[in-house]
Amino acid sequence: MTSPRVTPAFVAAYLKEIGVEFVPSVSAEVARVIDERRRGGTRETIVPSTKTTPSTAGALPAETATSGSGLDALRVETLACRRCPLREGAKQVVFGVGNSHARLMFIGEGPGADEDDQGEPFVGAAGKRLNTWIPRLGLARQDVYIANIVKCRPPDNRAPVPEEAGVCVPWLIRQIEIIRPEAICLLGATALRFLLGGEPKITRERGQWREYKGIPVLPTYHPAYILRDPRREDEVFQDMETLKGRLDGR
């Protein structure tokens, strides 16, 4: 029996069937690539809808940006992305995890081995350390949203290079626009560099408020760095107190 061809209507019906309450329009390009992958054809590229640089990327359509279920549709697009060589060496795309209406968003560098295995960011040793910081904000892990600059694991856990981040950051920007957090905490120099630009020093910038499209941004150390140098963790605790003060309106 021949399988039905994947069309925009087919994708929309499938998303509704699995419980996605809001289904935005699915482009013919997305449907075509899904169909080719399902049939074992040539793997091709889906280009994110934003073709601008991170600093000038436009807003999402209002119906997507105001709905948490917009993340489900974005996930479908992201999982099909083949624009970057990192996907070839990774087991899976690590999209992001957490509350789709989170007041706070954490952004790290990229998936490691544990994250690549489990498909969720910050589940390894660094994630366990991050989990001890979140309660200092009066929050639980399920209250926040966690993502990374790149969604596929770089070889040997190295930092992503500009070409890789340039391809992947537009997906992250769309996540930010859908979630619309009250604040963002950047974990480490890589997140700071690729979201806000420039060549900032995390030792100088941590604990200092920055801004991204009107959203307050606080950089701090990456949990993996603290695992290597636990003496700096008191500085992170100070940053968590600063962040809590902003969320509490102090």
Res. 42: pLDDT tops 80: no
pLDDT tens profile 95-136: 999 999 999 999 999 999 999 999 999 999 999 999 999 999
Q: What is the pLDDT of residue 212?
A: 97
Predicted structure pTM score: 0.74
Integer CA distances (angstroms), 44 to 12, 39, 60, 80, 119, in order: 21, 13, 24, 9, 22
Task: Over range 146-169, report the average pLDDT.
Answer: 96
Q: Domains in the chain, start-ordered, CATH in brackets?
A: 45-247 (3.40.470.10)
Q: Kindly report which listed range (62-76, 101-115, 185-199) carries the lowest average pLDDT score.
A: 62-76
Q: Kindly report which listed range (36-45, 148-157, 159-168) carries the lowest average pLDDT score.
A: 36-45
Q: What is the pLDDT of residue 250?
A: 76
Q: At what angle do helices 70-79 and 8-17 cross, to 10 degrees?
A: 120
Q: CB neighbours of 27 closer than 8 A, spacing ≥ 6? A: 8
Cα–Cα dist 177/157, whole Å: 28
Task: Over range 200-212, report the average pLDDT.
Answer: 96
